[in-house]
Chains A and B, each alone.
Chain A
Amino acid sequence: MIPIVFFGTTITFVILRMGPIDPAAAVIGASGDTEAYQSVRRSLGLDQPLWLQYVDYLRDLFTLQFGYSWVVNRGRPVWELIGVYAPRTIWLGFWSVMLPLFVGLPLGFYAGLNPNTLSDYVASFGGIVWRAMPNFWLAVIFVAVLTQSEQLFGFQWESWLVETNIVTPPDLSELWVPRNFLGAFKAILPAALVLGSASMGNEMRIGRTAVLETKNENYVETARAKGVPGRKIVYKHVFRNALIPLVPIITGEAFLLLGGSVLVETVFSINGLGYLFYAATINADLPLVGSLMFFFILLSVGINIVQDLLYTLIDPRVGYGGEGA
């Protein structure tokens, strides 16, 4: 784990500092004031030799001193920015992992339990197409359809149940109040559906084949011969074993969402981490970019650990310490 964080950070450093971009020039902008330029260079530590910069960079990141944003939100600590932007991304990511789980998996299991029926074909084909859809395109269409829902379907999405906007960040204050929770959920729902679309297709496919495979296993036949009721077989013997191949998919997707959220957040104007990273990139806010990338690397390593833990929970045969996926 440590070498991975180390290497990843090094790659980021190489991209940021050894590329043709001059961070100091980006900070002072187009004014071209030499005096200011020199002082910015000095305060960023750019006048030092590269290896010293590298050591400083690593030391700061590994002691979690993320420094300050220089361009996007000048002078604000990166931690504070993460504190503001991250909850929205987490809320979005949470639901885009949960929705596919609660929609895609049951559909896949249903298709697997009724193979080669019309509903199986519809579900399978839908999953294939759903999986191939580009998120940003789906997001564009969702936004357009929902903003025009009045004319298109005769019901207004924005005022349905609770008043929400379609293209603003969700209000995450006081989530324990049911009304606020519902509002926040409704506001994130389209974006989460879009972001989770690929996962939904994947999970459906995998759920289907997993059920198809386990359904014919000996222990299932034994259980059936013993007279275990059908519903119980499905829950106890089929479902649980079918979950095992799904663990790496779900955790892997949780990570993919981080990258994909840039586009979805941009279209839905949810100012989350992905959007922050995008803004930092196009404004050449290199200190912020470096810190965010380090944060993402930590997250991904964390997700990997969670994945190994999940394995031990679902499959008692796997002990922690064994090689994960």
Chain B
Amino acid sequence: MSVVDDEDATLRERLTDEPGPALRVFAVVAALVAVEFGALANLVMSLPWDAVGTALPGFVQGVAATLAGVGDALAGLPTLLSRSVIDNAGYQLPSGEWEGTFMGLSPAIAWAIRVVLIYAYGFVWLLVGWWSYLVYRDNYRHANWAPVDDMVGRFRNHSWGLFGLAIIFAFVVLAVFAPALGPTTVDANIADPYLHSIEFYNEETGSVEEMYVGDANGDSQSRGQGGENVGPLSYDQYDRFHPFGTLPSGKDLFTFMAAGARVSLFIGVASLALAGGAAVVFALATAYYKGLVDLGIVITSDSIQAMPQLLVIMLASFVLSGTWLANLYNGGVVLALLFGLTGWPGLWRAVRGPALQVSEREWIDAAKSFGQRPSVTMRKHMLPYVVGYLLIYASLTLGGVIIGVAGLSFLGLGINAPTPEWGRAVSAGQPYVATPSWHISLLPGILIVIVVTGFNALGDGIRDAIDPQSDVDTGQQDQSAAAGGGA
């Protein structure tokens, strides 16, 4: 309980009043950031600062250059979970000893240790997030009780929803830590294999030799019957470990998938932020003003929905290919925009009902009657009610977007070619499904199924938590679940 019982105390006042718990949370967060600080700095430095820098006036550029130097130095700091600390690249001597790997362990085990550590680290973040919510709720929140508490409580007992959350958590960690999780990096193995080299022990000459990754990839291809094959959880002839096997081109499938997860997650989240934002704004506006505004948006959204979503995206992404927009994030930005622009009507329809409901309540009337501005009324009195519903449908739609993106890249559209995307792996493995190289197509597909099921489960869980009496399946929601245009 808060010591202050002053009704009007702001959050800042409540914090300064009782800083203990907040400081503890802050200390833990700082420690967590510190062990990964290098990776974070690296991420910041990898943004296209040059483009920003040239736009700045001269003297700021000097400052920026110094900053960039500091940033580069920070990016070079060792991080706990990077591959340089726990290295899984090495070679085996005839004596069975491993050279170059973490503590002389075999690459498989070194890689597994890194994966476990990364997931543990992610899990700690999850716990810290939950803990800081509790600290906020018990110490600093103005109200003793809020409807959200009940929803959170219901969700905690919803095993299907928690299962979904666990899967999404695993997926997000895979996407966020993609560079550290893969047994090798996209740069070295997929993008520029001839700019990187590996060391291996040559049995014929009996010495350690160096060769290009590209040449090594040529000997680790998976080409089904009769050809070479490097299956899941196996080593190729250069002692490189492949958790998911290799692609037909000899590149590592796990690295490919992890990088692809990043792309999928980015497109999914960005497009939903766009679509969800538009949906909420329109839903609030239509529920508040009704009449002509409502009619106009109904017609607009109906017209957008009258065109098959996947076909429109296909067409628009083709039309836009070759423009500067298509090169942002290897085409990811365009796809996110298109999925957002074509996806908002579905979300809007889903939250329009709740928004209309809440607009009929007395407190809206009351707010109107004492002259509160419409935007404030919408934000303070209507938005909290609508957001929960938005979360449900956003979760259900995200799975659809992931499938849609994969479907487009399966056709060779959307994400530009060398960038990893799950659908491209399915397409690469298409001729080898019923051969020993089955993993190329099957593993990405199974991952998509698991992730999409996870998002559906999470959506179900949120719905049951928000509205336990809801009629469980209304048509609307399942239509949005099928978003992605039925890819």
Q: Does A148 contact B (CB under 8 A)?
A: yes
Q: Which residues of A contact B479 (CB under 8 A)?
A: 248-249, 252
Query: Are B481 and A202 touching (Cβ within 8 A)?
Result: yes
**A7-37 vs B, Cβ < 8 Å mask (1 yes, 0 no):** 1100110011001110000000000000000
Contact with A256, one of B315, B476, B482 (Cβ below 8 angstroms): B482
Q: Which residues of B contact A147 (CB under 8 A)?
A: 434
Q: Does A136 contact B (CB under 8 A)?
A: yes
Q: Is the interface of A mostly helix, strand, loop or mixed?
A: helix
Query: Are A259 and B306 touching (Cβ within 8 A)?
Result: no
Q: Which residues of A contact B476 (CB under 8 A)?
A: 248, 325
CA distance A232 to B330 in the complex (A): 60
Q: Does B449 contact A (CB under 8 A)?
A: yes
CA distance A16 to B315 in the complex (A): 9
Q: Does B65 contact A (CB under 8 A)?
A: no
Q: Does A103 contact B (CB under 8 A)?
A: no
Q: Which residues of B contact A133 (CB under 8 A)?
A: 445, 448-449
CA distance A311 to B473 in the complex (A): 18
B2-10, B43-51, B406-414: which one contacts chain A?
A: B406-414
Query: Are B445 and A141 touching (Cβ within 8 A)?
Result: yes
Given A12-B307, A129-B449, A7 and B300 contact (CB-CB distance below 8 Å): yes
Total count of chain B residues near the partner, CB < 8 A:
57
Query: Are A137 and B303 touching (Cβ within 8 A)?
Result: no
Q: Does B394 contact A (CB under 8 A)?
A: no
Chain A residue with the shortest CB-CB distance to B448: A134
Contact with A137, one of B319, B411, B434, B445 (Cβ below 8 angstroms): B445
Given A136-B407, A256-B485, A260-B486, A19 and B478 contact (CB-CB distance below 8 Å): no
CA distance A253 to B423 in the complex (A): 23
Chain B residue with the shortest CB-CB distance to A301: B306
Contact with A263, one of B304, B322, B487 (Cβ below 8 angstroms): B487
Q: Does B207 contact A (CB under 8 A)?
A: no
Q: List 13 A-B contacts (CB under 8 A).
A: A3-B303, A8-B307, A19-B316, A20-B320, A137-B406, A141-B433, A144-B430, A213-B471, A262-B411, A263-B407, A263-B487, A297-B303, A300-B308
New contact pairs (15) apart from A128-B457, A129-B453, CB-CB < 8 Å? A3-B299, A11-B303, A15-B315, A16-B315, A19-B319, A20-B320, A132-B448, A134-B448, A141-B433, A141-B441, A210-B473, A245-B475, A256-B486, A263-B407, A263-B411
Q: Which residues of A contact B (CB under 8 A)?
A: 3-8, 11-12, 15-16, 19-21, 128-129, 131-138, 140-141, 143-145, 147-148, 151-152, 195, 198-199, 202, 205-206, 209-210, 213, 245-249, 252-253, 255-263, 266, 274, 277-278, 281-282, 284, 289, 293, 296-297, 300-301, 325
